[in-house]
């Protein structure tokens, strides 16, 4: 077999304009069983599957090679390899249907992939990110329905994207907005340019209760560095992140002047929404709170400096007084000694 298109068998998403059939009193349809368990338990195969081209969920992979070993309800694909979007996929996968509930394990390495065309095809919309990188997963789940797979998914993963961009957002403009707010200046004009280049995007994540939890997102940019944490809801494909922009040492504003008001303040940004239409918003309340904390710290440091200065002054005066008293005592002793000599 050279080519296979699974999309006609996977079904399509109903049109947004389609009118749903009103069924106010009807129960929801039962969730679909995804794996033919009995058939898989009877499968006894050992061989290699090759396929030139495969399309699924609008994404295309090529040069698929899978070594299949199925025996007594345990189906292993190891190795499982294919090419996609200028990158390479290598994995070890096991489906175990020996017990009451199917158990699925996947250990994968996805390297050299171009994220923009892949996400564009999967989402059928503009990709939220571009660049080339890798995605590694070590995950497992149980059940035989999609919702069970998502909610019971466990494991961990890591992502690295190099020389890419965040689309539909201009982080530099948001930083200038923060500077204008804190310096009580008019907001900067919006050029309409919604694009943020970065040199590297990195993060590790853990799968738990239907979410991919990411505690350590970092995005390195020429202007600033983003740090944050958040999660992706795997059922709704909804993102919820809190990130902070930290300025690079040579960052300047639109007029070329140094961005002094936000120089040492983390600039908080909220990233929320469906993955194909993310919203980036400056968290002004937290930003002002950071400014107040900075001013309090400056006042504290100033008070400490004044205290140290006053302490040093007192210590100097004490030392000078000691010297003065010492000289007076020395002179008195000398006079007493002279009297004794002349007696």
The DSSP secondary structure of 31-50, one letter per residue, reads: PPP-S-HHHHHH--EEEEEE
Strands 195-208 and 154-167: antiparallel
Q: How many CB atoms lie within 10 A of CB 266?
A: 19
Residues 6+ apart with CB under 8 A from 57: 7, 10, 122
191's tokens: 């050029």
Q: What is the DSSP letter of 315?
A: H
Contact 163, 199 (CB under 8 A): yes
d(Cα 212, Cα 275) in Å, to the nearest integer?
13
Beta bridge partners of 94: 76, 105
Helices 171-182, 284-341: axis angle to 10 degrees equals: 60
Largest CA distance in the chain: 130
Contact 237, 277 (CB under 8 A): no
Q: Residue 212, SS3? A: strand
Contact 238, 150 (CB under 8 A): no
270's tokens: 């909220």
Contact 63, 89 (CB under 8 A): no
d(Cα 38, Cα 287) in Å, to the nearest integer?
58
d(Cα 236, Cα 239) in Å, to the nearest integer?
9
pTM (2 d.p.)? 0.78
Strands 154-167 and 129-142: antiparallel
d(Cα 181, Cα 288) in Å, to the nearest integer?
9
d(Cα 284, Cα 7) in Å, to the nearest integer?
45
Angle at 254 between CA 242 and CA 198, to 5 degrees: 45
Q: What is the DSSP letter of 99?
A: S
At residue 263, the pLDDT reads 74
Cα atoms found within 13 Å of the Cα of residue 297, Cβ hemisphere only:
8
d(Cα 117, Cα 129) in Å, to the nearest integer?
10
At residue 17, the pLDDT reads 41
Contacts of range 253-259, beta carbons closer than 8 Å, 24 or more positions apart: 253/176, 253/179, 254/176, 254/188, 259/175, 259/176, 259/179
At residue 160, the pLDDT reads 98
Q: Which residues of the chain have pLDDT under 50?
A: 12-22, 253-257
Residues 6+ apart with CB under 8 A from 273: 238, 239, 279
At residue 119, the pLDDT reads 92
């Amino acid at each position: 077999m050279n080519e296979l298109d699974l999309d006609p068998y996977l079904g399509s998403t109903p049109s947004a304009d389609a009118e749903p059939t009103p069924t106010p009193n009807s129960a929801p349809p039962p969730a679909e069983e995804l794996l033919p368990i009995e058939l898989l338990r009877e499968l006894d195969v050992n061989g290699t599957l090759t396929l030139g081209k495969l399309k699924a969920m609008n994404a295309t992979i090529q040069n698929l090679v899978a070594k299949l070993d199925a025996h007594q309800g345990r189906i292993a694909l190891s190795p499982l390899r294919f090419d996609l979007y200028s990158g390479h996929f290598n994995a070890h996968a096991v489906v175990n249907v020996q017990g009451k509930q199917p158990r699925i394990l996947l250990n994968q390495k996805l390297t050299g992939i171009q994220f923009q065309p892949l996400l564009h095809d999967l989402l059928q919309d503009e990709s939220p990110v571009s660049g080339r990188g890798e995605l590694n997963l070590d995950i497992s789940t149980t059940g035989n329905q999609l919702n069970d797979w998502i909610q019971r998914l466990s494991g961990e993963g890591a992502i690295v994207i190099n020389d890419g961009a965040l689309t539909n957002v201009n982080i530099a403009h948001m930083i200038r907005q923060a500077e204008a707010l804190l310096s009580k200046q008019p907001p900067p004009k919006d050029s309409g340019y919604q694009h943020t280049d970065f040199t590297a995007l990195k993060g590790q994540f853990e799968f738990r209760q239907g979410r991919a939890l990411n505690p350590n997102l970092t995005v390195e940019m020429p202007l600033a560095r983003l740090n944050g944490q958040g999660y992706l809801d795997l059922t709704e494909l909804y993102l919820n992140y809190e990130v902070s922009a930290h300025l690079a040492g040579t960052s300047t504003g639109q007029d070329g002047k140094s961005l002094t008001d936000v120089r040492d303040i983390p600039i908080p940004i909220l990233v929320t929404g469906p993955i194909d239409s993310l919203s980036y918003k400056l968290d002004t309340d937290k930003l002002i709170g950071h400014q107040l904390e900075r001013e309090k710290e400056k006042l504290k440091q100033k008070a400490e400096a004044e205290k140290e200065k006053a302490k040093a002054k007192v210590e100097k005066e004490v030392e000078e007084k000691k010297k003065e008293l010492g000289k007076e005592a020395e002179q008195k002793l000398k006079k007493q000694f002279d009297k004794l000599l002349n007696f």
